[in-house]
Structure 1
């Protein structure tokens, strides 16, 4: 496990590749995600973002890279599903991921709490753990920094009711965050081309996460099919 001090330096100005497949997707398998991570490593990735303890365990066997861990869990009555409760935080911490990412939107969590109520408990319990805030708006990012998150991601812009009409990548949000916040900014969400990635780095981000454009062949195929329909 990398130290809190150096993981953000290790991925600075480099690429993190998201290796995820949900149960209803063809590539859902810890073995396949492990090979995806290895392929990303060979291609030059500096870190991996992964979902579930099972996938993370396998990925650790294949690559020695910093891991941003999440657990996607659907709870009835809540729209929050990226590491939504203390239960998922506990599981990721026990597994020893280098950074835990969680939904940092202003939506109500499955247990009825807000992020402002839950995160101070998490921060107090796991003082030595790095946390990434998956945000959808500027206001959420500001609040996340105030609460003590170590980095802020644009992960959920375009995926909440308040931001569903946002064009992705959200260059406007990225630029505002870079110019006003003191913590590392990690661009994530809708990065489809190397040119878009280059533009995000030109805006001054610390790092970026790219997933679907690299590790989800079904979604990539759909884009090509849509172009010729």
Structure 2
């Protein structure tokens, strides 16, 4: 029995980048479908039904947000946007229109591959904060046992407040994906707190002081400026990282 390959649709008008991405994904066993315009992209996604879409926002025939909205008109396929703009408001607008994640150019292939793996693990979220449950997360010398509400670092127990634990586990359930600050605030504090970003700054700072070797340069609990947070959930097969469900 032949196993169906995971398929990726790449929509980008840069032929060199399109070729580079295609070669790299094919080398890792993915099936790749290419499109160089927004119109071609919509056709490819409709006909090929890929497992994930990588969408450049600067296309020659139409804005990438138009393509994104078109895809969302009939499909919940995960969409990762590529953008050369570092403006967080621009990326936030794309997320509002239904993108699952974003990568800013220039980027490393490993970064994009990691984002694709995260998107494939989730599919498209059915709620603003993903509800994927996990049991144990290992990140370096940190072990987080979610069912037993325990966390250790270097074998020594760490004490987290209930709110710190809530922030951490909400991020963990996203498996490395971006959790928007508004969604995180609503999840922990409830509706009406979406504008209280200073709450998150306080609690993420406290978590970093307890968990990170160098809180000023965190490895695990990362901030996406203007957008939200992600806890870099370990990739299977790496000794330093791992999670179980």
Query: Shorter chain as normaliser: what TM range?
Result: 0.3 to 0.5
TM-score normalized with structure 2 length:
0.33
TM-score normalized with structure 1 length:
0.35
Query: Which structure is larger by alpha-carbon Rg, 1 or 2?
Result: 2
Instruction: Identify, as 1 or 2, the structure richer in helix.
Output: 1
